[in-house]
Structure 1
């Protein structure tokens, strides 16, 4: 009986130890830094937007995606969290005017906050607006004071931003300043058109706009492009790299996300000239810029529902290598 008791006690000890060890094992804390949700209003407007841009709808364009959808895909990929982005800026786009615009913008921002609130430790809400609208500052402040939002998403292409317009630059300075005031992270789709001068636009961003958000972090989406990779994106990254590593202009709060970069020829309009000129190779140029910038300033993102986590990691592994991909996955951007 004594021998049996000793064996039972030992078994209990090891069971307790195993449970404690299991509790101490932390899940992967990877984050998808670029995720879109879709409610029914977004789906309906999305069809109008696709038509306006002469694009064909896919099955994904007709589906609604909520917080549970995102948590399911995060769990499947063994990811911990995601930045979920409001589609409110769609409702302020000049390409697809809507009735009661500001009301619809508020509805979208409130909806994304409600979705994030279901999983507060895993989903971070990003409000969005067309920064050129008269209500832009008012809406950022309305959302910010609720403390339900981690950041602000700006989409220069969808909002028809022109950085060569001085009045627009002044407005963007105000927007960046109010985001800075409330310590909102900024996620910026920077490229604004097909005919886009990478170097000239980037100079304006770095010199005239970023100084208004010195106390928060800024993530430039799609490696400064808008899908794929071309010469103009490469020119933008050259200046961003120099900015990040300049003693005069420390760039510790500036990051880029790698969402939608692969496949590199995603947008054929941007790659025709590349195919004709065999002296410039997209992947070689991109890898060179990533090395210069450093993976500590590059974060992972999928631009869901464009692609899911697993397939996109496979693309990154194939093109950038597993070591570089792992380093990007480990890069963190956290609100101060």
Structure 2
């Protein structure tokens, strides 16, 4: 009981920040900035002004780890594999090229800028799939530092804000069709809310196409977390004291990822009703806001200063590469 009470202050603070972030998002024009990003920055700001580590740390740790895992599990209930059949093979071909560009380019840029592989791959996941959600899903799988999570989300967020403004302008200047613009925006802008904002600003049809493509792209979270779970497990087993350890499913794929995948499968075959799926998605989104608030509370701004601007440059170059590759592939595949 004493232990449970000890986590309450940190959880309550994370919850209050999350509620404030959701409110701020609701009053901002256009909803260009998601509540997860707002919550993370509010957490960082709160820590910078005041942070009682003795009272808050255990609850903040709980929110940033366990509540985040709960959010990821519930996120699975909103994923549906049947959407792949709706968008067709052309969309998948474009997505394959953008995913290869993001992760291949992320690896090379990480080596070039001497950025640790966890931060580099979280930036790549955010760029390739769906911004903060993909980063948050990947972070516990590779046991990433909270400062790296904050850095990765920040670097992809800044590019997203720029794209919301520039995409409709570029699309108009190039006289792109609604369908072309929808595919381009859906496969190259990071966060879902940013895709919706930019594409609907161009046209209603472009917005509908982009949203459908983006939902398909979000499914890439599943193979990504499974692949990186395997990679990280193999990296850990390279350590001398773990080389002879038995291979176990729980070590290879974390338990919450197994449930996450099962939830997606249940939703795809119709075992979860649309109403329940929608409700679980809403709860998942809010829990992720709470977790990101906690991650912000655990992030010391001095770490940002020490790391420097390299991750931001990494994210900017990588996102730019995805934008260009997506445009070229859509031009040749979709027409």
Compare the two structures and name the one with the higher helix fraction.
2
Compare the two structures and name the one with the higher strand fraction.
1
TM interval, short-chain normalised: under 0.3
Q: TM-score, normalised by structure 2?
A: 0.26
Q: TM-score, normalised by structure 1?
A: 0.26
Say which one has the larger Rg: 1
Which structure has more relative contact order (CA 8 Å, sep 6+)? It is 2
